[in-house]
Structure 1
Amino acid sequence: MAQLSDDCFAFGGPMMSVDDAVAIIAARVTAVQETETVSLGDADGRILASGISAPLPLPPFTNSAVDGYAVRGDDVPRGEERAFPVTGRVQAGASAVGAIEPGHAARVFTGAPLPDGADTVFMQEDVRRDGPGRVILPAGLRPGANVRPAGEDVPIGTPALAAGQRLRPQDVALAAAFGLTQLDVRRRIRVAVFSTGNELVSPGNPRAAAQLFDSNRFMLMAMLKRLGCDVSDLGIVSDDRVALADGLKKVAGAHDLILTTGGVSTGEEDHVKASVESVGALVLWRMAIKPGRPVAMGIIDGTPFIGLPGNPVASFVTFVHVVRPTVLALAGAALQPLVPMPLRAAFSYRKKLGRREYIRVNLRKGQTGELEAVKFPREGAGLLSSLVDTDGLVELGEAIERVEPGQTVGFLAYASLI
């Protein structure tokens, strides 16, 4: 398990900015060192443990990019078309036999290797047949056209996949193109998740009139699994300081991260702060973010602890900006900053300076065809429908005080956040 000192996240300043929080996480969380070998079919989403350099060039041989006729570059007609005798026929997967003779053309197909000496291919749509075994090639083609040289994509020995890379389907495809069947990856991060609060009951259990079905826990577990974590569902812990402290202590040694939702505010029945302090050390992050200011982070027996707000939208937003970078750092992944896409606002909004805010929006095409962000009509952090019925978040930085229609804003699609 990852082991951190009790003051690892200590921060004595005023309300912490989002950038400061991410910087502290990136600098102070130590990645797990254990690795495992997985097949290509199981590699998507995993964190590559060691870099891979190209063991062969891609493509491994010079080949035709089209169906057509291959010739020597010196024979390309200049000024007017010219007839060529056709000698040889090479299909994809077959070896070219012999070198092409000067003044001759060879019939080739997409992906087929070129005969020795050939370096230019005429597309079959651009030529005319001139009786059996002859073809008329037009003038003006650039020598070297329609050919994929060996190593054009990736030269041999080139660094191709970096250690710490979170593998995507296209990365897996590149490894397969190198002929690899297995990859060394970091082991999955083990995360314990539970909700807090007497007002919650798990779906499937009887619900009292004053209770809610727990939704945050399932949302957070789904997000963690998309990040490649092994997740332990610890259910719901009641609003009892001793029970919460005992639960935290029990799971710390067997997990790399403990994640809770609810109970991190300053009310009389918000017991997370006191419970964590009784079994470890906690710095209560008053992050300058809306929704989601009450976020707690600490250390319990060397294991990082994060407590998220109980409102679902606040829990979602703070997961993206606190839990996501923590998980990636623990997994040994290179932290990639979220890059908002610029588009036009179709709403007015006022906010406080010095605080980063996230607005739930839908995308639509404006009258001129440009994409516009349309604000969800309601703002409550407890509205699950506002996450379900929108396309993503508009990020408003600390220096922004108001937004007017037509102003350029930064958009983060939900798909880019996990």
Structure 2
Amino acid sequence: MSIVEVSTQPSCADAGDSQSLSVEQARRAIRKALDQITDRQMVPIRDALGRVLADDCISPIDVPSHTNSAMDGYAFVGADLPTEGVREYAVVATVLAGQSTDVGCKPNECIRIMTGAPMPPGTDTVVMQEQVESLGNGRIRIDARHRVGQNVRQAGEDIAQGACVFQQGRYLRAADIGVLASLGFAELKVRRRPRVAFFSTGDELRSIGDPLGKGDVYDSNRYSLFSLLTETGVEIIDLGVVRDDRQALADAFKRASSMADVVITSGGVSVGAADYTKDILKGLGSLSFWTIAMKPGRPLTFGRLGDAMFFGLPGNPVAVMLTFHQFVQPALRYLASGNWPQTLVVEARARTALKKKPGRFEFVRGILEYGEDGRLTVGPSGKQGSGILTSMSRANCYILLDEACAGVAEGETLRVQPFSTTI
């Protein structure tokens, strides 16, 4: 009997194919196509957390604004410190934080001073109170261990007037807000947040609260995407679920692109009989329909839809989150700031062996934790099917297995991308 070979197309079951982009090639293509958002707005400093500075921030003052004591103690003229043995001094004044004094020090005199108080005229050194022996009757004694200039904060030591404190494009963190408040900024000029419109496609999708018929599923992707977009700090436009109908999809695409900087869909970008997205998009925008040598998340659509950028994500729940993390989130960060974020990657020891064929990049959902020896260890978070969303819920990292990897032995060192800074 002769053997008849079946002619097939590349699929997500393949280890890789020559027509697929690498993960890095896809990232570079996306970055090259993006334009920064330049619209600006003023916001109160209390509302600036997570926003992106639109201009360089120049300090209007010195911080500290005056030379002051870094300790509770006694202010001295450095040249009058003992060089050997011990020496007695008369305490001629006291200066508290928020106060100042015109009293100076003659030889064998010092001034009681509190943390943050301006240094008295002529003094340049503070001896902390714990290193001073009180003799009573306004006199103290110190030894020769001290050096000129110790325990004093110079005016402008932290920030000098006219210095650039933060450059434009910076995402503002809590510490940044504190720094800017210390400079007296009540309002900040920031870039407008990216506007992102998104919807799911599929006749089988039902919203929460609707009854499920045979073959129906609740639309988890919309809620995952809404949460991911919230974490990213963008303006969100949720257009719900759009049924698999050419006219409904065309109308949804037109509406979304008219109101947003970025349009995101999940589902409808593969080769299924009811996946109309490709045909519709070809008439509305300039799109690239990619297969990427990665697992999960092989199919991805990217391009321009009117004036908006477009991401067509796969329909499987895990693939939606993975492709968002690897492509969409950094793209949104770039739109907002002009900076493509550098992903934190750490090394960890494999708790178990992992099977893999060479040919594509695999993102294994993992659990990163400390072993008994204090070193980081990592292992899979459960079954790795792209529809098993609980594998993402249990995970706190991606285990990164590149295209050349042919499997991992227990105890081998792996590269890991944590989801956050805590585990």
What TM-score results when the alignment is normalised by the length of structure 1?
0.91
- Structure 1 residue aligned with 2:84: 79
Aligned equivalent of 1:154: 159
Pair 1:367 & 2:372 matched: yes
User: Residues 108 and 309 (structure 1 numbering): CA distance in 2 closer, same or farther, change over 3 Å?
Assistant: same
- SS of equivalent residue, structure 1 residue 87: strand
Contact 2:347 2:376 (C-alpha < 8 Å) held by counterparts: no
> Structure 1 pair 102/249, CA: closer, same or farther in 2 (3 Å)?
same
**Alignment partner, residue 8 of structure 2:** none
2:230 is matched by which residue type in structure 1? K
Which string of whole-angstrom CA distances, capped at 9 and with x for unpartnered residues, describes residues 123-143 of structure 1? 222222111211222321232
1:251–1:129 distance in 2 versus 1, CA, 3 Å: same
Equivalent position of 1:235 in the other structure: 240
Aligned 1:54-73 pairs, distance under 5 A: 54-73=59-78
8 Å contact kept, 2:171–2:337: no
The answer to whether the 8 A contact 2:303-2:310 is kept is yes
Q: Which residue of 2 aligns with 1:4?
A: none
- Match 1:191 to one of 187, 196, 199: 196
1:169-318 → structure 2 map (5 Å cutoff): 169-318=174-323
Given candidates 167, 171, 186, the residue that maps to 2:172 is 167
Determine if the alignment matches structure 1 residue 323 to structure 2 residue 328.
yes
CA distance in 2, matches of 1:206, 1:149: 69
Offset, 1:391 = 1.8
Of 214-223 and 371-380, the range deviating more from structure 2: 371-380
What letter is aligned with 1:218? Answer: Y
Which residue in the other structure is 1:8 paired with?
none
Does structure 2 retain, via aligned residues, the 8 Å contact 1:92–1:110? Answer: yes
What does 1:24-43 correspond to in 2, within 5 Å? 24-43=29-48
Amino acid at match of 2:389: L
Could you say which residue in structure 1 is the equivalent of 2:4?
none
Deviations 1:49-69 (A, max 9, x none): 111122222222222222122
Partner residue of 1:98 out of 100, 103, 124:
103
**Matched residues in 2 for 1:142 and 1:45: separation?**
43
1:336-355 to 2 correspondences below 5 Å: 336-355=341-360
**Shift in alpha-carbon separation, 1:224–1:142, aligned structure 2, 3 A:** same
Once the two structures are TM-superposed, the CA of residue 281 in structure 1 deviates from its matched residue by 2.5
Distance 2:267 2:170 in 1: 33
Instruction: Give distance in 2, aligned partners of 1:363 and 1:191.
Output: 32
Report the alpha carbon displacement of residue 354 of structure 1 after superposing the two structures with TM: 4.7
Alignment CA distance shift 1:114-1:396 (3 Å): farther
**2:58 aligned partner, one-letter code:** S
Residue aligned with 2:420, SS: helix
Shift of 1:367: 2.6
Select the residue among 374, 377, 386 that pairs with 1:381. 386
> For the Cα contact (< 8 Å) 1:340–1:395, is it kept in 2?
no
Distance 1:410 1:139, change over 3 A: farther
Q: Which runs of 5+ in 2 are unaligned?
A: 1-17
The answer as to whether partners of 1:50 and 1:163 remain within 8 angstroms in 2 is: yes
| Residues 225-234 or 361-370, more deviating | 361-370
Q: 1:413 is matched with which residue? A: 418
Answer yes or no: is the 8 Å Cα contact 1:359–1:393 preserved in 2: yes
Counterpart AA for 1:188 = R
- Find the aligned partners of 1:134 and 1:342 in 2 and give their Cα distance: 59
- State the 1:35 CA deviation: 0.8
Match of 1:51 in 2: 56
CA spacing shift, 1:60–1:406, aligned 2, 3 Å: farther
Cα distance between partner residues in 2 of 1:57 and 1:23: 42
Tell me which of 8, 15, 18 is aligned to 2:20.
Answer: 15
Tell me, yes or no, if the aligned pair for 2:62 and 2:160 is still in contact at 8 Å. yes
- 3-state SS of 2:136 partner: coil
In structure 2, what is the Cα distance between the partners aligned to 1:27 and 1:399?
26
Q: Which whole-Å deviations, capped at 9, do the CAs of 1:124-182 have from their partners, x for residues lacking one?
A: 22222111211222321232222222222222222211111111111211211111111
Partner of 1:9: none
Shift of residue 416 of structure 1? 6.0
Worse-superposed segment, 250-259 or 328-337: 328-337
For the residues of structure 1 that align with 2:28 and 2:108, how far apart are their CA atoms?
Answer: 65
- 1:12-48 CA-to-partner distances (Å, cap 9, x unmatched) read x942222222223333211222210000000011111
What is the aligned-residue identity percentage? 39
Cα distance, 1:337 vs. partner? 1.3
Checking the alignment, whether the CA contact within 8 Å between 1:25 and 1:329 is kept in structure 2 is no
- Contact 1:59/1:151 (<8 A) preserved: yes
- What's the secondary structure of 1:361's corresponding residue? strand
The structure with the largest alpha-carbon Rg is 2
Give the structure 2 partner of residue 141 of structure 1: 146
Contact 1:276 1:298 survives alignment (8 Å)? no
Conservation of the 8 A alpha-carbon contact between 2:205 and 2:219: yes
Per the alignment, do residues 149 and 327 of structure 1 end up closer, same or farther by CA in structure 2, a change over 3 Å counting? same
Which amino acid is 1:314 matched to? A
Q: Quote how far apart the aligned CAs of 1:122 are.
A: 1.8
